[in-house]
Amino acid sequence: MNQYFFTKLVGLLSLFIVIGVQLMGQDAANDIILVETNEPVMIEVLANDGTYCNSTNISIDIPNQPVFGVANLLEDNMVEYIPNTEANFEDGLVDMMSYCILDTEGNIVATAYVFLMGGIDMEDANDIDIEDMSDADEVDEGGPDVLQDIDMCEVLTCVWPGDANHDGAVNAWDLLSVGVGYEMQGPPRIDSSTEWEAQLAIDWNYNQTDGSNYKHIDGDGNGIINMTDVTSIRQNYTSTSSGKTEDDLENESEIELSLHILNETISESDTIQIQVQLGGESDLIEDVYGVAFSIRYNEGIIQSNSFQFDYDNSWLGDNEELLWIYKQLEGGIAESSVVRMDHFGTTGGGIICGANFIMEDVLAGKTEDYSLALEFEKVTVIKNDGSEIIVKATGDTQEVIYASAPTILENKNYLSVYPNPAISILNIELDRVEAKKYEIVDTKGQIVLNAPIKKNEDSFRLNINDLYTGVYMFRVFTATGIIQERIVIVR
């Protein structure tokens, strides 16, 4: 194709991106048929199919009928497409079907799509010298116009299974679309799968509030929006990229989504309970259909994959009335969403969901003050038609206390302290232990002397002239616990 023609075509049919023909099987090229009126059209589907074009040892079959008409197989492997009377190709309707090529034994040797496209101004289209468009595509005189080399995924807006709101990411927000479109039906996809790849699909009759077509919600392509489409969200869950930015959450809305840490104290390895609330008992929110949110937390202090959400006590509905999912992602993010399925919003206030997670168990080495901070990062609350209710979102913070007592290890000659009783000098000897520090503690629990122990330092002397006479505990800290010996200072 020459550059001149490329430019002209792009200008004329600006929604078409011209790249290679997409092949489903082997050696059969898709056919793109321009449909001007809804008169029947004859399609020579093998015309651009290379060696099959003139082969006498093959036949064709139509495993997937078109959506807006009927396809009949005629002699000489011609296909007749008869649009439904209500099929409105003048308004840009696109229909599709598939055909397969069979050998003499009935085995499928190739498959391809036939696209039937309306909505193109044929006077302009006739200006295109279609014969020049690509090397092998002929146009029969008087027959339907045939365009080749159009990326149908651009024309049809392909479906990526799981990305129900068609924003390029698969996440908790896609569940809201499933709830809004629950049990709606449309054309199933031909050769659909839930693999994360572009899939050709005919538009449904409905669009979502953001303008994306309902076909995107049908993750598994079976022509109905239901529970199995939640499965394709789970299967292809990626990272987060939708919802609101942080700034949007600090607004003036009187409707508040709030997060509450329920534990009174937090320490390492603890299971932490939280609640997410929307409104309150005296602050009822009307017509709520679904909620999606992400929570950001200090990375590294919550165990991976320990976040679990439950919607058992949600005022949004009983368990069987709700769809919900959650995911703890890399980088200190957990996100979740819940949506009703009955197309009616509900009114209430209080608990939306509970959640729990487990603190890391390696916080023991930390001694500095540390807080568990949970902040909403993105929040979307919707009504039953998918339109948004603006909310203010507030997180929660609580101090983490490193309360767990270190283990006292049995001293199997790891630590020797002598003389004992001692007067002014203590000799310390360590055997087979890697000590980090020592401390001398009096009978009231006060640390009277302490210092780090260097790596590989296995004996040292201490001057104890400044210590009062009495009983003390000499303690050595190792990676696995404390080794200690009771000592007496006399004068």
Interface residues with Ca ion (CB under 5 A) are: 29, 31, 45, 48-49, 112, 163, 165, 167, 169, 174, 218, 220, 222, 229
Cβ proximity to Ca ion, 167 vs 458, nearer residue: 167
**Residue 86 to residue 249: CA distance in whole angstroms:** 47
In this complex, which beta carbon is closest to Ca ion, that of residue 230 or of residue 266? Answer: 230
| Closest to Ca ion by CB, 203 or 229 | 229
164 or 433: whose CB is closer to Ca ion?
164
- For the bound state, the minimum distance from the C-beta of residue 236 to Ca ion, rounded and expressed in Å, comes to 10
Residue 314: CB minimum distance to Ca ion, A? 23
Q: Output the smallest distance, CB 18 to Ca ion, in A.
A: 17
Q: What is the CA radius of gyration of the chain?
A: 35
Smaller CB distance to Ca ion: residue 49 or 149? 49
Residue with tokens 């609101």: 244
**Phi, psi dihedral angles at 118 (to 5 degrees):** -110, -165
CB of 364 to Ca ion, least distance (A): 40
For the chain, the residue count is 491
Closer residue to Ca ion in complex, CB, 53/449: 53
Residue among 220 and 270 whose Cβ is closer to Ca ion: 220
Nearer Cβ to Ca ion (228/420)? 228
Nearest distance in Å: CB 222, Ca ion: 4
In the complex, minimum distance from the CB of residue 22 to Ca ion, in angstroms, rounded to a whole number: 12
For residue 166, the minimal CB distance to Ca ion (Å) is 7
Nearer to Ca ion, 45 or 464 (CB): 45
**Cβ proximity to Ca ion, 145 vs 163, nearer residue:** 163
**Three-class secondary structure assignment of the chain:** CCHHHHHHHHHHCCCCCCCCCCCCCCCCCCEEEECCCCCCEEECCCCCCHHHHHCCCCEEEEEECCCCEEEEECHHHCEEEEECCCCCHHHCCEEEEEEEEECCCCCEEEEEEEEEECCCCHHHHHHCCHHHHCCCCCCCCCCCCEECCCCHHHHHCCECCCCCCCCCCCCHHHHHHHHHCCCCECCCCCCCCCCCCCECCCCCCCECCCCCEHHHHCCCCCCECCHHHHHHHHHCCCCCCCCCCHHHHCCCCCCEEEEEECCCCCCCCCEEEEEEEECECCECEEEECEEEEEEEECCCCECCCCCEEECCCCCCCCHHHEEEEEEEECCCEEEEEEEECCCCCEEECEEEEEEEEEECCCHHHCCCCEEEEEEEEEEEEECCCCCEECCEEECEEEEECCCCCCCECCCCCCEEEECCCECCEEEEEECCCCEEEEEEEECCCCEEEEEECCCCCCEEEEECCCCCCEEEEEEEEECCEEEEEEEEECC
For Ca ion, the closer CB: 138 or 248: 138
Q: Which residue do the tokens 């023609």 mark?
A: 5
User: Quick one: tokens of 236?
Assistant: 């292809």
Nearest CB to Ca ion, comparing residues 110 and 374: 110
Closest distance to Ca ion from the beta carbon of 182 (Å): 10
Q: CB 188 → Ca ion: shortest distance, Å? A: 8
What distance in Å separates the CA atoms of residue 28 and residue 5, rounded to the nearest whole number? 25
To the nearest whole angstrom, how small is the minimum distance from the Cβ of residue 155 to Ca ion?
17
Q: How far is the CB of 220 from Ca ion (least distance, A)?
A: 5
Nearest to 382 by CA among 344, 333, 327, 335: 344
Q: What's the longest Cα–Cα distance across the chain?
A: 120
Between 76 and 91, CB nearer to Ca ion = 76
Min. distance of Cβ 271 from Ca ion in angstroms? 31
- Taking the complex as a whole, the smallest distance from the CB of residue 165 to Ca ion amounts, in Å, to 5
Q: At what angle do helices 227-235 and 172-180 cross, to 10 degrees?
A: 160
All residues at 6 or more sequence positions from 106 whose CB lies less than 8 Å from its CB, including other chains: none
